[in-house]
Structure 1
């Protein structure tokens, strides 16, 4: 990646940032793994606390599982669902084995409801499922006998994002795009002393979240060791920080909300900290960008292969989402699709090597339409508003109802659909609200009638939605609307009414504590 605007050669008068010509040569993720294994065969590659594999052993185990998949009929062009407990070496060996067999993996968080898993696997038309059992669960007739290496044009993964219609959207990423992403980041972070053997990279994100791909290939592209953490530990927030220190973790990719919970004293060994998935508060960057540590802010939708742009944070100046990675083209356009002038705000359009595709052809044609003003035959409309500046882009919000919460992209329409399907609900709308302590909360506002039971409603939501999409329920008398007739989410009540005050009089100290706890 070029960090100097003159090196990028983009138009100084208009907001076009072309870096696609800088893309790395085509290859696959298995090519990357094999190259790293040749360079560092004895270096630790995967350590879950119970199993520790060096690169030679990891590659052998991956080959063994890939042979089992091939014997079961999995080969190039196949799709394999992966639903294995987090924090385990088995999960990551399985992912690599699917790739080595020439297939694409379709991840589902093991903690997600069975209904969600079945929906994702059905939408992706998977040929087999790896779920921790002794053998793959094959869903289609056998077509292969031995593992067949993928090509750069084959799909590497299919990850599902939240959908505005109430159904998740499958996004397929090729090996070409995935490997270009790994290579681009290799030319970006820690140039004075790159990652390598001796470094340990946290794997703490759900593999159903595309940022998990960054964790994996930060380690395996450089010969570092991937250190999986159980999701239960990650969710505790503060407990993860001492675990990182105890495990000797030196590189972390995470969301700002989680990092904000970590005491700085436990982060002394971390020399690379990457933020993404949601806005990074300036004060967090200032606190964590200390000498001896690189802190980066990254931006990118699943549809453009994890990360499209990045900016190094020093704790000074605005928090930017930066300039494009090598191989990615960015443009900021107005409503007519014409590039805006520098200093103006518009929608971010992404082109280049990182473009993925939707499984739904109609959705793909809608979101990846050409950009005639620049001659791009295929361009992704991000729906994100950014301010164009020569030093890098500044995020300015969304142009629709899509939001980020805890690093996961959420279509509020999907939550709306689940709320409206609840028994006794006559109207519903979801919204993200910020609590007094600065944390974001997903709230489901519901207009209820006879037959509504809050406890049963929460059970139904937990059984049909991923945990990140289950909102706090807030009954309301009516849903405010705009003049267009659409629900006015900004007018929904906040803060919510708290519990009725206790009859017992509180001391001043008790009243202060109660107020802080409520906030």
Structure 2
């Protein structure tokens, strides 16, 4: 990654462990021996109302930035400083200090390295990482190639492209199934092989064990995208067991990213969307690996983290955008990074619809989940249609004009994919109203089917590329969202769009979730979310149900607007959970620009 960052114009010192994407602006300076963990936001810009805030980021030699942290434009991290996972940094972190939280503040004493001295760094392991990157990219290619061998059976004996279409349509479903099964088998086999000899401890980044851990995470990050229908389903616990994780009974797991051999999930646990479990830590050329555990009937909220050596206690809760503590008492609840105790009221609900479903409910859910293969097949059919269209154009008007018109073909494909996702939402779910639905109810299962249409059709063909454009706003309106004029949204993730209102000129930055539902105690509670005219939700922030951001108000990066909160008109807030954006932070942030 360091070579790619330098190609973009960033200044990267020697022996830097860069495990996240660099900014396309090149406005990044990382000193020698620094370590940047996965999913750190180094973009160096965000949109605040009608202002684009841009600034360079400087990270000193030997500093460590924890996973899923956000560094605002103008951030300066001093030499040997440490930023804890899940933090949001504005302004300056002095040399040797340890900071944590959103907004980040100084915690404890000096930063502590994983080991007193840097290990040797054999150059051959750089080639191993590079080879792994290429190999991971080839796994989907190999899977699609084997699926294509099945598909071409339908074109045998056809005299023309038009004549081949009926046969290709017949063989498309077997081809898709072969592709998916082959890729899943390759993921399981590779993950199992990579787990051999993987053990807890502190290991050199340029060494076998660290390479195994890094490759495992990257592989499973790809898998949860390409094999999305397997997640948040009855099959997910079995899938994770196949990968090597220890998973108990009656567990509900969504799109988790984990190191399987380091993960234990006890009976009745619930892991929400985009959780991270047993992820590695970096520092000083070393990687720390340790087991993580999700306790019995524990809950890990959306984008929550249970890092190396951490545990979500029995009957405990780690909230949205929060980090699990090192140790905690059973039944305790935690919020933020570093985590603080949270008062919680347990919802009493029908056990038959939450933890102990009847066989009939299991069968019904399984049948609905089988429907998730439909958008996968349709997405592949759309890809096949694009290829056939381009082939027909090439034979009719020549290769040069086909290249010229290929953009229009892809735009048309994106429109078709978006239309299918919209149709699925209204056909399977219909209008959505505030209320509560237990996990084992058809409403929840139907929304998951509609979400699969979004993730497997609309996202790859349309929504990812349309981020920040009027086209995305038009599509979100078609799903039922109320979107005003001049809205900028970098995120298509509006889980229950009917309940979302984005007023004129509102801004939703990258990585945000307009979270209209919560799933505590296995009951889906949904309510409205409103951003009034000119309101801003900063990058990687989450706003929970029944919350409102007032006109021209700003919620800063990596912030959490709690359920039912109302941000006053024209005010500025930040933090997890949000509080008034302190003057000292604003000044240092603005000065850094």
Shorter-chain TM band? under 0.3
Give the number of the structure whose residues are more often helix, by fraction. Answer: 2
User: TM-score, with normalisation over the residues of structure 2?
Assistant: 0.25
User: TM-score, with normalisation over the residues of structure 1?
Assistant: 0.27
